[in-house]
Amino acid sequence: MSAKKIKSALISVFYKDRLDSLVKLLHEQGVTIYSTGGTQEFVEKLGVPVVPVEGLTGYPSILGGRVKTLHPKVFGGILARRENAQDLQELQQYEIPEIDLVIVDLYPFEETLASGAAEQQIIEKIDIGGISLIRAAAKNFKDVVIIASKDQYTLLEDTLRANGGSTTIEQRKVFAGFAFEVSSHYDSAIFKFFQSEAQGEVFKESYKGGTTLRYGENPHQKGVFYGDLDLMFDRLNGKEISYNNLLDIDAAVALIDDLDGTAVAILKHNNACGAATGATVKDAYLKALSSDPVSAFGGVIITNKKVDLDAATELHKLFFEVIIAPDYDENALTLLKEKKNRIILKRKPVTFAPKQFRSLLHGVLEQDKDTKVEVLADLKPVTNRKPTDEENKALLLAVKLVKHSKSNAIVFAKDGFMVTSGVGQTSRVDALKNAIDKAKEFGLSLDGAVMASDAFFPFPDCVEIADKAGIKAVIQPGGSVKDQDSIDYCNKHNIAMVFTGFRHFKH
C-alpha cells in the first residue's frame, strides 16, 4: 500500500524559521517527535512533547556537536524496509523505533564561505550528520518522507492536511528528489572549495533557483536561467528579462567593465554597435549612438556612471529594451519609467567567477575568462613610425572593443568612440570591408582613425584596405608567419602598427 501515515518524525535543523506551524501540525496528528540540541529546545518552547535523540541512542552529543545523530538506533529506524521481515525483526531485537519523517537541513557552508571566514570556520560548516540523514531517508523513500529544506515545509503541511497525515509513494519520491538536489548542490560547493590541480580536470557546477523564461533564443525553444539575478541587479522597471536579453546583458557588463572614465555602450546580438567615453553620460551616449543609430534600435544600453536627467532625456528618444547603470537620479528614473516595458537595471557590486563554460556535443567546454585588458606597456611598436599619444589612446580603446566583438572582428576608433565595426565574419577582409561600408553609410570619416583586429593578419591586404580608407594606426596581436609583409606595407605608407601578443577570438 503506497499511502503511509506518519507516526514518528526526527527533526534536526539549523534554520528554525517557518518550522513552528509544521511542528504544531505534527503534534495535532499524533506524531512522536525526536530531536536534539537547539531544535529540541525550539520544539519544547512550543509546548510540544519531544523525545531527545540522546534518550534513544544512549549517547550524548559529543565532540563539540560533531556527533549527534550518527547511530544505528537513528539510521536503523530510517533505513529499515517495512516490507522486509528481517529488517523488522532486527528493529524489534535492538529496540529501534521506526522513523517515518525526517526534517533536516544543512549547516550554511556556502554562506560561511562567502562571508570570508577563516578556513577552520568553513570546515566546521561541512555537515556530516545532516547529509547522512538526508541520503538515508531519501534512499528509503518507499517508507520515509524526507524534508531537506524549509522551502518544502508548506508543501508538506498542505499534503498532510489534505491526506490526514499520510503520504503516497509518489509524493515521497518527489520529496526524495528535492532532497538529492539539496545534497548534490551542497557536495558540489564543498568539492569546489577543495578542488585543486591534484584532482585533475573535473567539471562540477550546481545552480539553484532556476527561472523559467518566456522562451529560449526563439519562441519554439524552452528557456531557463539558473542563477540569482537579484544578487547582481535591482530591476526597477519593465517586463520579464528574456533569454536574448540575458545574453546581451552579459556581453554589456563584460564590455563596460573594461572601459575607463565615463563610458556608454550600446549592444545588439552580443556585439557593440556603439561605444564611447565622454565628459558626461549624455556626451558618451550621443557619441556611441552616432556609430550606428539603426542597430541601436531595440538594443541594450549600459553605462558605468549614474544616469542624470540630461542623459535620460536623450536616451528616452530611442526605443531600447534594457538599460543598465550603477544608479539613476530620481527625475531621470521617472522619465525612463514612462515606457512600462523598458527594463531598467541598477547594478550591484559583484565578483564574477574566473571560469566560463558552455555545453556542446556530448559534454562541456570550460576555459578561463578572457580577462586580459591591454595597457600602454603591452603595445609593442613594430613599424618605423610610432603611434602618437592620441593614437595610443584610440588603440587602447579599439582593442578593448574588438575583444568583446564576435570573430572575425575589426573595430575603428578615434576621439574616444568606436567609429564603426565589422563583426562575426568568416573572413577578416569581409569584416574590414563591412566596417568601412558602415562608416560611409552613416557619414563617419575614418581619416585619422585607428584599427584593431582580434587576431593577426595572414596577409597585408587588411592594412592596405585600411590605409586607403584613412586609417593611420593599427593594433593587432601579431604572430603570423607573414607579419613582415604587413609591417613592410605600413612602413611604406607611414602607418604606425603595434603588436600586443594577445589574441581575442570570441565565438
Amino acid (1-letter code) at residue 476: Q
DSSP code of 197?
G
Spatial distance between the Cα atoms of 7 and 426, rounded to a whole number of angstroms: 68
Count Cβ atoms below 10 Å from residue 301 Cβ, excluding itself: 23
Amino acid identity, position 118: A
Known catalytic membership, residue 27: no
Residue 91 CB partners (closer than 8 Å, separation 6+)? 76, 77, 80, 97, 98
Q: Are 168 and 189 in contact (CB under 8 A)?
A: no
CA 360/CA 216 separation, integer angstroms: 16
Catalytic, out of 150, 185, 269, 316:
269
All three cell numbers of 63: 565532540
Q: Which residue has the cell 574566473?
A: 354
DSSP label at 34?
E
Residue 263's beta-bridge partner residues?
Answer: 277
H or E segment and range at residue 396: helix 389-403
Q: Give the number of other Cβ atoms within 10 Å of residue 53's Cβ.
A: 25
Instruction: Quickly count: other Cβ atoms within 10 Å of residue 19's Cβ.
Output: 19
Question: Could you give the CA distance from residue 182 to residue 149 in angstroms, rounded to a whole number?
Answer: 8
Please say whether the beta carbons of 412 and 446 come within 8 A. yes
User: What are the angstrom distances between the C-alpha of 426 and each of 247, 292, 429, 438, 478?
Assistant: 22, 22, 9, 18, 19
Judge residue 119's burial from the number of C-beta atoms within 10 Å of its C-beta, 0-12 exposed, 13-18 middle, 19 or more buried. Answer: exposed
Instruction: Supply the DSSP symbol for 388.
Output: P
- Going by DSSP bridges, is the β-strand pair 271-278/262-268 parallel, antiparallel, or unpaired? antiparallel
Give the three cell numbers for residue 441: 553609410
Annotation marks residue 269 as catalytic: yes
Measured distance CA(145)–CA(102) in Å, rounded: 6
For 381-417, b/e burial (b = at least 16 CB within 10 A) is: ebbebebeeebbbbbbbbbbbbbbbbbbbbbbbbebb
> How far apart (Å, rounded) are the C-alpha atoms in residues 417 and 287?
6
> Residue 22 CB: number of other CB atoms within 10 A?
20
Q: Which of 5, 16, 139, 185 is catalytic?
A: 139
Positions marked active-site: 139, 269
